[in-house]
């Protein structure tokens, strides 16, 4: 039978696509703003050598930079979303390249700003912070000043700015290779129908009941990665080298500490996460053994760990039905939250389905004063995509509340907090779905889903975080990062986190080359800490604890006005202790016991 082809964007109705006219009504308007940016940014030179003269002078320069940044954020947002629609579109690639070149020039021209701010004496800087001219900039200035030990001289900052695009080349190589050049072909399903195998559809095959189909999909998918493994290993090694270079250039002890410094997160939080999870792997191994028994397998492979354990329930949820479920689940957060989200999802915030050349996965992306857009590759037969929608909606509503409460310079929240908002929504969705059914099989299905969510977000992302720490340490001590080193280190972690009860196919060693987040290092641990904080916050809201909803909504409104640990502490969660992580690990154990009883 002929394989169904992947749709092009022209074959989708507009109602299934995001509406980027909220950013720009047409490309001519985008070009006008790019031209304005190009003509305007050199005017920053009028403040060169004058930022320390007075609070008024510094305030004027910061306001000029803000107005420029507002335009830059929006044009970049538009270009990046269009490129996500079709990574092979030459026009979109050209516009993104144009912007990247422009950003390099702007970075070079503005390279004097931060060093001049850092050169202001401590006494004078304290006076500036109390001056009404800088009243709206105190948070931003304190954050800038905190970086003083890691800001270089003006010529050095200029060189780093000039080299930024070249240093990030590995990311473009990875994206073009995996989203455009790599072809996975098609695979016959259980009925003999040829289905396209893509980065997005791969997950659809792994949730099928047919074990042979899962196996064939796994091996066919990884065969393509095996054909490109040396190129991918080279891209990943240059990613690590760039991280280490930037950390050393800015006088940080390590790439890990450089990354954590931005959020004022102690290394002890990162290491404590790994330690807590490593000490609680026994329930995870118990879960894998339950999977093997329930699925009736002689041996369990990693590609068998995604299929729902309840055989009778294979869901088909339309996108509109998914919206209904997500909005209903979030009703405890109040009408403002749910009405805004429902209107946005039905009003084309979201690009819904997979199309040819579209970026794989899902994300939420916002810019100040514009809707927070969501990219999905929604599959009706993958129930986890309902959770993905809830997850990305959490990001979008975080952006919406933050924009409404904060000035531009304080609205942009860090990823550490973003993953709390997204995972919080998933916890409320699970609670809602469990309340909607008394059917033991459906309850088992939903609990299995929550267990898999904790497994994927806490256990798996912690394994990823440990891998990132290991490979950066290898580079920092001067050893070579080769394909075999990547595979060997990743194999050791697979063995530790899967245990003796799972058969690890040799091809799975290549997984370390295909995880997009590895090319943006020290990001994934925030998923694990995020779910831990989200569980704690959601339990308070669902228990009806007085003030818990307001505390959570104020957390969303706080944006980036404070550092993450301080923001979470105000909401009622202390991430400097192991308590939130260990509480989530106990939840996993409790849910597993319930699932064992139900099955």
Catalytic hit among 392, 427, 468, 489:
392
Q: Identify whether 102 is part of a domain.
A: yes
Cβ proximity of 24 and 216 under 8 Å: no
Q: Identify whether 532 is part of a domain.
A: no
CB half-sphere exposure, 218, CA atoms < 13 A: 23
Mean pLDDT per 10-residue section of the chain, whose length is 599 residues: 67 94 95 97 96 96 97 97 92 93 93 92 95 95 91 86 83 85 89 88 89 95 95 94 95 97 95 97 97 95 92 81 97 97 96 91 94 95 89 97 97 91 94 91 88 94 98 97 97 97 96 92 92 94 95 97 94 94 95 93
* Rounded-to-integer distance, Cα 286 and Cα 474, Å: 33
Q: Can you give the pLDDT at residue 322?
A: 96
Q: Can you give the pLDDT at residue 320?
A: 96
* Rounded-to-integer distance, Cα 119 and Cα 440, Å: 66
Q: What are phi and psi of 406, to 5 degrees?
A: -120, 155
Cβ proximity of 354 and 4 under 8 Å: no
Q: Can you give the pLDDT at residue 312?
A: 60
Q: Identify whether 316 is part of a domain.
A: no
Cβ proximity of 525 and 466 under 8 Å: no
For strand 373-375 and strand 194-196, is the pairing parallel, antiparallel, or unpaired? unpaired
| Residues paired with residue 375 on neighbouring β-strands, in sequence order | 351, 363
Cβ proximity of 261 and 566 under 8 Å: no
Q: Identify whether 185 is part of a domain.
A: no
Q: Can you give the pLDDT at residue 90?
A: 93
Domain that residue 156 falls in: 9-167
Q: Identify whether 98 is part of a domain.
A: yes
Please give the structure tokens belonging to residue 145.
């000043």
Q: Identify whether 595 is part of a domain.
A: no
Instruction: Provide CB contacts within 8 A for 461, sequence distance 6+.
Output: 524, 525, 527, 528
Instruction: Provide CB contacts within 8 A for 36, sequence distance 6+.
Output: 71
The domain tally of the chain equals 1
Neighbours of 287 (CB within 10 A): 25
* Rounded-to-integer distance, Cα 179 and Cα 174, Å: 8
3-state secondary structure of 300: strand
Q: Identify whether 461 is part of a domain.
A: no
Q: Can you give the pLDDT at residue 219?
A: 96
Write out pLDDT tens, residues 282-297.
999 999 999 999 999 9
Q: Can you give the pLDDT at residue 3?
A: 46
The CATH number for 33's domain is: 1.20.140.70
- Judge whether 419 counts as a catalytic residue: no
Q: Identify whether 155 is part of a domain.
A: yes
Q: Can you give the pLDDT at residue 426?
A: 92
DSSP state for residue 502 in the 8-state scheme: B
Please give the structure tokens belonging to residue 200.
């997005």
């Amino acid at each position: 039978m002929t394989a169904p082809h992947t749709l092009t964007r022209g074959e989708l109705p507009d109602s299934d696509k995001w509406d980027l006219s909220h950013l720009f009504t047409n490309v001519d308007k985008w070009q006008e703003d790019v031209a304005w940016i190009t003509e305007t940014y050199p005017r920053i030179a009028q403040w060169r050598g004058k930022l320390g003269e007075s609070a008024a002078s510094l305030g004027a320069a910061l306001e000029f930079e803000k107005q420029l940044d507002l335009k830059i954020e929006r044009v970049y947002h538009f270009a990046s979303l269009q490129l996500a629609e079709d990574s092979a579109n030459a026009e979109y690639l050209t516009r993104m390249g144009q912007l990247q070149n422009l950003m390099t020039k702007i970075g070079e021209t503005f390279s004097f700003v931060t060093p001049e701010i850092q050169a202001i004496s401590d006494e004078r800087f304290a006076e500036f912070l109390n001056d009404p001219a800088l009243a709206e900039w105190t948070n931003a200035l304190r954050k800038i000043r905190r970086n003083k030990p890691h800001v270089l001289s003006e010529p050095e900052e200029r060189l780093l700015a000039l080299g930024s695009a070249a240093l990030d080349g590995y990311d473009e190589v990875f994206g073009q290779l995996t989203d455009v050049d790599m072809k996975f072909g098609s695979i016959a399903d259980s009925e003999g129908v040829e289905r396209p195998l893509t980065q997005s559809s791969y997950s659809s095959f792994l949730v099928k009941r047919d074990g042979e189909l899962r196996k064939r999909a796994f091996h066919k998918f990884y065969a393509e990665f095996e054909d490109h493994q040396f190129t991918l290993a080279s891209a990943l090694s240059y990613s690590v080298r760039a991280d280490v270079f930037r950390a050393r250039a800015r006088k940080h002890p390590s790439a890990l500490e450089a990354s954590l410094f931005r959020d004022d997160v102690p290394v002890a939080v990162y290491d404590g996460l790994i330690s807590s999870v490593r000490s609680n792997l026994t329930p995870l191994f118990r879960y894998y053994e339950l999977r093997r028994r329930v699925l009736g397998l002689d041996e369990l492979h990693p590609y068998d760990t995604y299929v729902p354990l309840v055989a009778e329930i294979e869901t088909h949820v339309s996108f509109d039905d998914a919206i209904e479920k997500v909005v209903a689940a979030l009703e405890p957060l109040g009408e403002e939250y749910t009405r805004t989200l429902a209107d946005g999802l039905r009003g084309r915030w979201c690009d819904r389905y997979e199309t040819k050349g579209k970026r794989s996965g899902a994300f939420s992306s916002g810019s100040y004063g514009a809707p927070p857009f969501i990219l999905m590759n929604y599959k009706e037969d993958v129930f986890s995509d309902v959770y993905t929608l809830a997850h990305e909606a959490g990001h979008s509503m975080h952006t919406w509340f933050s924009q409404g409460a904060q000035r531009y310079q304080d609205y942009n929240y860090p990823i550490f907090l973003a993953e709390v908002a997204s995972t919080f929504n998933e916890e409320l969705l699970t609670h809602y779905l469990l309340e909607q059914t008394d059917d033991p099989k459906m309850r088992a299905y939903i609990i299995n889903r929550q267990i898999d969510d904790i497994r994927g977000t806490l256990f798996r992302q912690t394994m990823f975080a440990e891998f990132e720490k290991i490979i950066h340490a290898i580079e920092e001590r001067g050893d070579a990062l080769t394909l075999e080193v990547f595979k060997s280190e990743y194999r050791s972690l697979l063995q530790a986190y899967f245990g003796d009860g799972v058969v690890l196919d040799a091809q799975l060693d290549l997984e370390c080359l295909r995880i997009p987040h590895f090319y943006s290092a020290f990001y994934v641990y925030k998923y694990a800490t995020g779910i831990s904080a989200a569980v704690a916050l959601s339990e308070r809201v669902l228990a009806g604890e007085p003030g818990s909803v307001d505390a959570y909504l104020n957390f969303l409104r706080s944006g980036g006005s404070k550092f993450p640990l301080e923001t979470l502490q105000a909401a009622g969660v202390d991430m400097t202790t192991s308590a939130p992580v260990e509480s989530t690990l106990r939840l996993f154990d409790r849910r597993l016991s319930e699932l064992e009883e139900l099955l």
